[in-house]
C-alpha cells in the first residue's frame, strides 16, 4: 500500500526486527518507558506472537506498529512509533488503521492500546482516530513496576483488509 506522501506499509515479520527496533529507539520515547529496555530479540519475539507493520519511505523504515491477540474479542495494538523527521505525514494514522483492518478481518470486536503515563501527550492523536479512554479496560501486559497506563479502546467491525497473513508469510519467504 503506497500513500500520497510516498510511504508504503508492509507486514513486518521477525526478520524485520532490527529495522522495527531502530524506528522504536529513534522515536524518542521517555527513558522511563519499557521501550528503553527493549532489545531486537524482544521485538522479534513480539512479532512472532502477533504481527506488525513497517512504514517505508525512500528505502528507510520510518514507522512501525505491532499487535497481538488478547482474548477472543480484543486485538492489542503496541509499539506504534514514527521517526521524528517523518512525523506529520499520516504514517502513524495509517499504521493504526492497518491494525484495525487486521482486527476486523480476523473477527475481533475491538482494538485496545495502552499509553504510558510518560507519554500522555499522544492521547489526542488516538482520540482523533476514534479511541476512547476506558477506565474499566485492562491492559494485560502492563509492567507492575510502572505507573498504570491509560487504556484506550475502539470498536471495529468486519471489513475487507488490504493486508493478510499470506502477505506476511510471502514476505518471510523472500
CATH number, domain containing residue 48? 3.40.630.30
* Number of domain units in the chain: 1
Q: 115 lies in a domain?
A: yes
Whole-angstrom distance, CA of residue 117 vs CA of residue 151: 10
State the distance between the two ends of the chain, measured CA to CA, in whole angstroms: 18
Considering the entire predicted model, what is its pTM?
0.85
| pLDDT tens per residue across all 174 residues of the chain | 555 568 999 999 999 999 999 999 898 766 666 666 788 999 999 999 999 999 999 999 999 999 999 999 999 999 999 999 999 999 999 999 999 999 999 999 999 999 988 889 999 999 999 999 998 888 877 777 778 889 999 999 865 444 544 444 444 444
- Per the structure, the complete domain to which residue 67 belongs is given by 8-160
Q: 30 lies in a domain?
A: yes
Q: 170 lies in a domain?
A: no
Give the ranges where 38-152 is alpha helix by DSSP (H). Answer: 40-49, 91-105, 123-128
80 close to 92: Cβ distance less than 8 angstroms:
yes
Q: 127 lies in a domain?
A: yes
Whole-angstrom distance, CA of residue 73 vs CA of residue 107: 8
Amino acid at each position: 500500500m503506497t500513500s500520497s506522501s510516498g510511504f508504503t506499509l508492509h507486514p513486518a515479520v521477525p526478520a524485520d526486527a532490527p529495522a522495527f527496533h531502530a524506528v522504536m529507539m529513534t522515536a524518542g520515547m521517555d527513558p522511563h518507558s519499557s521501550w528503553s529496555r527493549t532489545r531486537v530479540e524482544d521485538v522479534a519475539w513480539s512479532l512472532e506472537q502477533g504481527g506488525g507493520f513497517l512504514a517505508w519511505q525512500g528505502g528507510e523504515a520510518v514507522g512501525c506498529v505491532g499487535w497481538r491477540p488478547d482474548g477472543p474479542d480484543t486485538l492489542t495494538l503496541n509499539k506504534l512509533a514514527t521517526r521524528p523527521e517523518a512525523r506529520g505525514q499520516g504514517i502513524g494514522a495509517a499504521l493504526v488503521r492497518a491494525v484495525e483492518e487486521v482486527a476486523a478481518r480476523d473477527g475481533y470486536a475491538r482494538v485496545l492500546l495502552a499509553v504510558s503515563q510518560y507519554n500522555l501527550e499522544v492521547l489526542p492523536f488516538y482520540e482523533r482516530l476514534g479511541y476512547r479512554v476506558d477506565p474499566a479496560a485492562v491492559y494485560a501486559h502492563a509492567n507492575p513496576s510502572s505507573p498504570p497506563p491509560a487504556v484506550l479502546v475502539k470498536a471495529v467491525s468486519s471489513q475487507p483488509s488490504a493486508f493478510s497473513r499470506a502477505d506476511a508469510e510471502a514476505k518471510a519467504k523472500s
